[in-house]
Chains A and B, each alone.
Chain A
Amino acid sequence: MATSLSIVFSLIFFLFILHVSSESTLPAEEEEFTEELLFRPLPDRKVLSHFHFQIHTPDTTSYGPHHRLFPKAIYQLVHKYRIRELELSFTQGRWNYESWGGFDPVASSNAKPPGVELWAVFDVPADQVDASWKNLTHTLSGLFCASINFLESSTTYAAPDWSFRSVSSNLRYGSLPREAVCTENLTPWLKLLPCRDKAGLSSLMDRPSIYRGFYHSQRLHLTSSEFDPVASGNGIVLEQTLTIVLQPDALDSHSAFSSSRKFQPSWSMNSLFGRTVDGKCALAKSSNVYVQLEGSLVNNMQDTWNNNDGGFGSNQNIEFSVSPDRMMKEVNSFHGEGSSILYGFSIDDYHSSKPFDLGFKWKLPVTWSCVKAPLRASRFLMGSGNEKGAIALSLQSTEWSQSLPKADNNEQRCRLRVDIFQVVPWYIKVYYHTAKIYVDGMLQSVGETVEKLHVSPSEDKVSPGVMEMILRLPCDMKSAFITLEFDKGFLHIDEYPPDANQGFDIPSAIVSYPDFHTRLQYKEDNNSIKSPMVSKMQEKRTILSYTEVLLVPLTTPDFSMPYNVITITCTVFALYFGSLLNALRRRVGEEERLLKDKKTGKLQLLLSKWSAKLRGKPWEPPSSTPQSSPSKLISSKVLFKVVLIAAIGFGWQYYSG
Chain B
Amino acid sequence: MTSSPEDDHPKPKQRPIIRLVIFIIAHSFLFCVACTVAGVLALLLLPVLAKKTYVSENALMPGSASPMISDQDVSGATRFINELNSLTLKSPTAGIEIPRLIALHMANLGGEVSYHKFQNQPNKFHPLHFFTSPDAEANIGNSSCESYATNTVGIIRAPRGDGKESIVLVTPYNPVNLSQNEALSLGIAYSAFSLLTQVSWLAKDIIWLTADSRFGQYNSVAAWLRDYHTPSFGGVGKLHADSCHGNNGVHESKLDMIIETEVSDTFRRAGTMAAALVIKVANTGEESGQDSLNIYAEASNGQMPNLDLINIVSYLAIHGQGLHVKLEKLKSLLDSKWLKFIGELFESVGKIARSLNPQWKFGIPANEYVEGSATLVSSLYNQALGVPTGSHGAFRDYQVDAITMEISPKLSRNTKGRQTEFLFRGGRLIEGVIRSVNNLLEKFHQSFFLYLLTSSNKFISVGVYMIAFLLLVAPLPVLAAYLFSDAAKSNPNSENSKPSKSWRWLYHSKTIFLTHLWGAIVSVIPYFLYQIPIPGSGFGSGSDSEHVARLFLWGALSIFILSVVLVFSGYRSTQWALLKSVMVLAAFIGLCLMSVINFATAEIGALLLVPMCLMIKPLKVAGKLQSALNMVLVIVEFPGVALYLVKSAFGLQNGSGYVEFWYWLESLWVWNSATYIYICMVHLPCWFLCFYILFHPCNV
Contact = CB atoms under 8 A, between A and B. Distances in A.
B162 A257 contact: no
B160 A93 contact: yes
B272 A551 contact: yes
A565 to B, nearest CB: 18
Contact of B234 (A443, A588, A606): A443
Interface string B154-172: 0001011111110000000
Given A258-B256, A595-B13, A441 B162 contact: no
Interface in A618-657: 635, 639, 654-656
A656 B360 CA distance: 6
Interface in A564-603: 588, 591-592, 595-596, 601-602
A591 B13 contact: yes
B108 A94 contact: no
Interface string B273-313: 00000000000000000000000000000000000000000
A602 B4 CA distance: 9
Contact of B160 (A96, A216, A394, A505): A216
B133 interface: yes
B229 A383 contact: yes
Given A592-B10, A595-B10, A635-B16, A384 B398 contact: yes
A383 B227 CA distance: 10
B266 interface: yes
Contact of A553 (B110, B229, B272): B272
A443 B232 CA distance: 11
A602 B12 contact: no
A591 B12 CA distance: 7
Contacts of A505: 164
Contacts of B266: 394, 396, 479
B620 to A, nearest CB: 32
Nearest to B10: A595
Q: Interface extent on A, as a size class?
A: 35 or more
A94 B157 CA distance: 9
B443 interface: yes
B162 A442 contact: no
Nearest to B5: A602
B10 A553 contact: no
A34 to B, nearest CB: 30
Contacts of A92: 160
A499 B79 contact: no
A503 B443 contact: yes
A384 B399 contact: yes
Nearest to A631: B13
Main secondary structure of the interface of A (DSSP, over half): mixed
B249 to A, nearest CB: 18
A591 B49 CA distance: 49
B258 interface: yes
B360 A655 contact: yes
A254 interface: yes
B245 interface: no
B243 to A, nearest CB: 13
Contact of A655 (B11, B239, B272, B362): B362
B406 to A, nearest CB: 26
A479 B49 CA distance: 58
Contact of B229 (A94, A214, A216, A382): A382
A146 to B, nearest CB: 16
A261 B108 contact: yes
B129 interface: no
Given A438-B233, A595-B10, A94 B162 contact: yes
Given A257-B79, A378-B269, A502 B162 contact: no
B146 interface: no
Nearest to B70: A254
B57 to A, nearest CB: 10
A441 B271 contact: no
Contact of A114 (B6, B162, B200): B162
Given A382-B229, A639-B16, A655-B359, A214 B443 contact: no
B399 A553 contact: yes
Contacts of B165: 502, 551
B272 A501 contact: no
A190 interface: no
B445 A501 contact: yes
Contacts of B256: 258
Given A438-B233, A481-B233, A254 B72 contact: yes
B133 A483 contact: no
A392 interface: yes
B238 A441 contact: yes
Nearest to A257: B108
A293 interface: no
A392 B441 contact: no
Contacts of A595: 10-13
Main secondary structure of the interface of B (DSSP, over half): loop
A556 B234 contact: no
Given A441-B239, A548-B163, A595-B13, A601 B157 contact: no
B520 to A, nearest CB: 26
Contact of B233 (A380, A483, A548): A483
Interface residues of B, number: 52
Contacts of B271: 548, 550-551
B88 to A, nearest CB: 20
Contacts of B507: none
B79 A441 contact: no
Contacts of B360: 655-656
A394 B110 CA distance: 24
Contact of A384 (B79, B133, B239): B133
B442 A177 contact: no
B231 interface: yes
A44 B112 CA distance: 12
Nearest to A380: B269
Contact of A551 (B76, B164, B357): B164
Contacts of A292: none
A569 B6 CA distance: 40
Interface string A420-462: 0000000000000000101001110000000000000000000
A311 interface: no
A237 interface: no
B353 interface: yes
Contacts of A115: 162
Interface in B1-58: 5-6, 10-13, 16, 19, 23, 49
B6 A601 contact: yes
A212 B200 contact: yes
Contacts of A655: 353, 357, 359-362
Given A258-B108, A367-B258, A595-B12, A381 B397 contact: no
B459 to A, nearest CB: 16
Interface string B365-404: 0000000000000000000000000000000011100000
Contacts of B657: none
B359 A656 contact: yes
Contacts of B623: none
B442 A501 contact: yes
Contacts of B362: 654-655
B699 to A, nearest CB: 34
A549 interface: yes
A385 interface: yes
A535 to B, nearest CB: 32
27 contacts: A92-B160, A93-B160, A114-B163, A213-B160, A214-B159, A254-B72, A258-B256, A261-B108, A382-B229, A382-B230, A384-B397, A385-B133, A441-B234, A441-B238, A442-B234, A483-B233, A501-B442, A503-B164, A548-B164, A549-B162, A551-B164, A551-B271, A592-B12, A595-B10, A595-B12, A655-B357, A655-B362
User: What 8 A-B pairs come out closest when comparing CB atoms?
Assistant: A501-B442, A551-B164, A438-B233, A114-B162, A595-B10, A655-B360, A384-B398, A502-B442
Given A44-B110, A94-B162, A114-B162, 19 more contacts: A93-B159, A94-B157, A257-B108, A381-B272, A382-B229, A382-B230, A383-B133, A384-B399, A385-B133, A394-B266, A441-B233, A501-B443, A505-B164, A549-B163, A591-B12, A592-B10, A606-B23, A639-B16, A654-B362
